[in-house]
Amino acid sequence: MEYKAKIVSVDDNRLNLLLIESMLESMNVSIASFTDPKTALKYIRENPADIILTDYMMPVMDGVTFIKHVREADSDIPVVMVTAVDDDDNVKIAALQAGAYDFLYKPLKLYEFQVRIKNLLNMRKNQLLLKDRAALLQSEVFAATKQIEQREFESLSIIGRASEYKDMETGNHIKRVAHYCRELAKDLGLDDEYIRTLFYSAPLHDIGKIGIPDNILLKPSRLTDAEFVIMQQHTVIGHGILIEADGKYLKMGAEIAISHHERWDGGGYPGKLSGEDIPLSGRIVAISDVFDALMSKRPYKDKWSIGETIAYIQNNSGKMFDPALTDSFNRLHDVFQDILKSYDDSQE
Ligand SMILES: [Fe+2]
Ligand SMILES: [Fe+2]
């Protein structure tokens, strides 16, 4: 069905309205006529219109005031003021300032009137097409951005999985660590952007293990001192893999890789950093990683009880861990246990 343009016509004189209606009769438009500008405004607010024709001299509200109200509701609908030739120029200027597009002069001449309306309708059509195009482009850009973001997360989780592939830690371990980290960051009141970045980069903490020889990485018994020195290199290797990256997730991943085995008291590795010299992301991953390791069964150790784990973390407040984070952990260990249950290793 062909689109029928809608014209709203306002004049306190009913005869003028009838004249306009008859002049538009041969054109493919629908017309809503009003003698009262207030009723017309109410109609315009509720019904889309393509052109508005308004008289200037009206008892309840003059044409300029009417146009101002129309502009409050719709910023670009074409409005034409129908006015007497000898009307004051100031009125015309005021009408243009209020947002009138054009003037028509009484008495209206049929042919000129129809041509002007036709031109305005064309302009309106292009206006709407442009708007549609802009909206379409915007939604396309939005969808494309979402897709890129999803791909980025996909790549991140694949990199994370690759690192754990030959490790004895499980895929659920890195998922759980990401969730603990998010809870801790929320408890610290960090901003959403940081929390989100941390959530997606925490799984990269042990990516450097892909550079550790299997006989050390997979050794089921205690490492010798020499082996442990090599094992510690996973922090530096991980950092080296990620440091060239430009993206915020990989950048934070690099920071976490090199700092998640540092200790608050300076006794960690590889940098022997202490206190707030250790990046916050690394401190958050450190406590999350240890919690999960203690609560999991490993070839060389049994699962600890939650009581033993809480006690261990408390005893290490200010030693291994940032005291602010052990405080957060105290508030959160129920939540941590829920996370542990929802990503249970037996479901792997
Ligand atoms: Fe590690
Ligand atoms: Fe880990």
pLDDT score at 187:
98
Nearest to 37 by CA among 72, 11, 71: 11
Q: Is residue 81 part of a domain?
A: yes
Ligand in nearest proximity to the CA of 231: 1
DSSP secondary structure of 46-112? HS--SEEEEES--SSS-HHHHHHHHHHH-SS--EEEEEETTS-HHHHHHHHHHT--EEEEESPPHHH
User: Is a pLDDT exceeding 70 seen at residue 215?
Assistant: yes
Q: Is residue 184 part of a domain?
A: yes
Token pair listed for 273: 């950093």
Q: Is residue 42 part of a domain?
A: yes
Q: Is residue 131 part of a domain?
A: yes
Q: Is residue 202 part of a domain?
A: yes
- Residue 169: pLDDT band (50, 70, 90) is low
Together in a domain, 88 and 194: no
- Of 120, 136, 152, the position where a domain reaches its end is 136
Residues near ion ligand 2 (CB < 5 Å) are 206, 289
205 Cα to the center of ligand 1, angstroms: 6
What's the distance, CA 298 to chain centroid?
A: 40
Together in a domain, 122 and 172: no
173 Cα to the center of ligand 2, angstroms: 7
Q: How far apart are CA 247 and CA 282, in angstroms?
A: 18
Ligand in nearest proximity to the CA of 298: 2
Q: How far apart are CA 54 and CA 11, in angstroms?
A: 6
190 Cα to the center of ligand 2, angstroms: 22
11 Cα to the center of ligand 2, angstroms: 77
- Residue 170: pLDDT band (50, 70, 90) is low
Together in a domain, 132 and 171: no
Q: Is residue 158 part of a domain?
A: no
Coil, helix or strand for 30? strand
Ligand in nearest proximity to the CA of 262: 1
345 Cα to the center of ligand 1, angstroms: 19
Together in a domain, 120 and 193: no
Q: Is residue 151 part of a domain?
A: no
Q: What is the mean pLDDT of residues 214-241?
A: 93
Together in a domain, 107 and 198: no
pLDDT score at 273:
97
Of residues 102 and 326, more confidently modeled: 326
Q: How far apart are CA 255 and CA 242, in angstroms?
A: 9
Together in a domain, 95 and 217: no
166 Cα to the center of ligand 2, angstroms: 13
174 Cα to the center of ligand 2, angstroms: 6
Q: Cis (ω within 30 of 0) for the bond into 203?
A: no
Ligand in nearest proximity to the CA of 292: 2
User: Is a pLDDT exceeding 80 seen at residue 175?
Assistant: yes
pLDDT score at 252:
96
170 Cα to the center of ligand 2, angstroms: 9
Q: How far apart are CA 7 and CA 11, in angstroms?
A: 13
Per-residue pLDDT tens over the stretch 259-276: 999 999 999 999 999 999
Q: How far apart are CA 332 and CA 165, in angstroms?
A: 30
- Residue 348: pLDDT band (50, 70, 90) is very low
Together in a domain, 62 and 125: yes
Together in a domain, 194 and 337: yes
Per-residue pLDDT tens over the stretch 76-101: 899 999 987 676 788 888 888 988 98
187 Cα to the center of ligand 1, angstroms: 23
Do 333 and 306 form a contact (C-beta atoms < 8 A)?
A: yes
Together in a domain, 132 and 176: no
> What is the domain range of residue 334?
165-347
Together in a domain, 193 and 336: yes
Q: Per mean pLDDT, which of 123-132, 146-155, 185-194 is the most reliable?
A: 185-194
260 Cα to the center of ligand 2, angstroms: 9
Per-residue pLDDT tens over the stretch 292-325: 999 998 777 889 999 999 999 999 999 999 999 9
Q: How far apart are CA 231 and CA 222, in angstroms?
A: 12
What is the number of structural domains in the chain? 2
- Residue 335 belongs to domain with CATH number: 1.10.3210.10
Q: How far apart are CA 100 and CA 80, in angstroms?
A: 6
Do 55 and 63 form a contact (C-beta atoms < 8 A)?
A: yes
Together in a domain, 120 and 195: no
pTM exceeding 0.85: no
311 Cα to the center of ligand 1, angstroms: 22
Together in a domain, 262 and 325: yes
Q: Is residue 143 part of a domain?
A: no
Token pair listed for 110: 């049929």
Ligand in nearest proximity to the CA of 177: 2
Token pair listed for 204: 């990269």
- Residue 97 belongs to domain with CATH number: 3.40.50.2300
Q: Per mean pLDDT, which of 137-151, 153-167, 232-246 is the most reliable?
A: 232-246
241 Cα to the center of ligand 1, angstroms: 14
